[in-house]
Amino acid sequence: MRLAVSTLGMPGEDLDRAIEIATGHGCQGLELRLHPDTGVHAGLDSAERRSVRERVEGAGLEISALAGYVGVCEPGPDQPVIEKLLADLRLAADLGAPGVRVFPRGDDPSVGARRLKAVSGTAAALGRRVLVETHDNMATCAAVAGLLAEAASPETTGAIWDLLHPWRHGESPADSLAALGPYLAYVQVKDAVSAQDTTPVPMGTGSVPLQEAGELLRGAGYDGWVSLEWERTWYPQVAPVEEILPGAADWVRRFAA
């Protein structure tokens, strides 16, 4: 496993500070949240894109993923969703990120599958993937796996297993991993008070079954990215991400395949 950290946990910090935090705590990667507040988004011009990539790579880091907000199953016309997704994929190519995170934002897998197929040609040409997170209307790994099976585009799609959401919706880590199978492309790790109270807490002090999930990933030989998604942007009262990263690094070391 390789450790990354999401800039979601660094509200108000610029890219240089995010790089400093990541390199100072043993991360190999940086997950970049796409939002005007972070300074990284599809509206950057070519010089700005080049600057982002050079600064990250110059610090010895990789961009593990771009955390976008496209709702791939969102109700409504296809074209606006497809255009936003294509813009994020082109940004990923320019920044050297292997994939773009999307949310379901809907519960009809046929809608998402149609859109994933529509961008698959461009994604393949760019050498990038669309990574569907276990979130909102498709919070379980079984639901996301069903969407990806219908999309039938394994070269350009994959799943992000956010360890919190499937569990809090009643899916055990063992069932989650079994459901994802070959679709698993990325892991987001975090701990929370309980299934009902998702306030972030330091790794190992909450209720998310991190030990079980880690053992399962090690047993499966998973060697991809594990990103600490410390949601301080949504919970500003919690500790700075710098205080949480040592626990995430220890978790990765314990369960690395």
**In this model, does residue 152 exceed pLDDT 90?**
yes
When pLDDT is averaged across residues 79-91 and rounded to a whole number, the result is: 98
For the residues 208-218, what does the mean pLDDT come to? 98
pLDDT at 57: 98
Residues linked to residue 131 through DSSP beta bridges, in sequence order: 101, 158
pLDDT at 138 over 90: yes
Give me the pLDDT at residue 257, please. Answer: 67
DSSP summary character for residue 146: H
CB neighbours (10 Å) of residue 253?
A: 11
Residues of the chain with pLDDT > 90, as a percent, come to 100
Q: Where are the beta strands (DSSP E) in the chain?
A: 2-6, 29-33, 62-71, 99-103, 129-133, 157-162, 184-189, 225-228
Asked whether the CA dihedral 38, 144, 226, 52 is positive or negative, the reply is negative
Residue 246 has pLDDT above 80, yes or no: yes
- Write the CA distances from 78 to 27, 70, 74, 81, 115, integer angstroms: 37, 12, 9, 6, 7
pLDDT tens digits, 178-200: 999 999 999 999 999 999 999 99
Summarised one tens digit per residue, pLDDT across range 196-210 is 999 999 999 999 999
Alpha-carbon distance values, 240 to 18, 51, 196, 235, 255 (Å): 12, 26, 23, 11, 24
Per DSSP, the residues of 79-98 read HHHHHHHHHHHHHHHHHT-S
- Cα 250 from Cα 202, distance rounded (Å): 12
- Average pLDDT across the chain, whole number: 97
Residue 73 pLDDT level (bands cut at 50, 70, 90): very high
Full-model pTM: 0.97
Share of the chain above pLDDT 70, in %: 100
Domain 2-255 CATH class label:
alpha beta
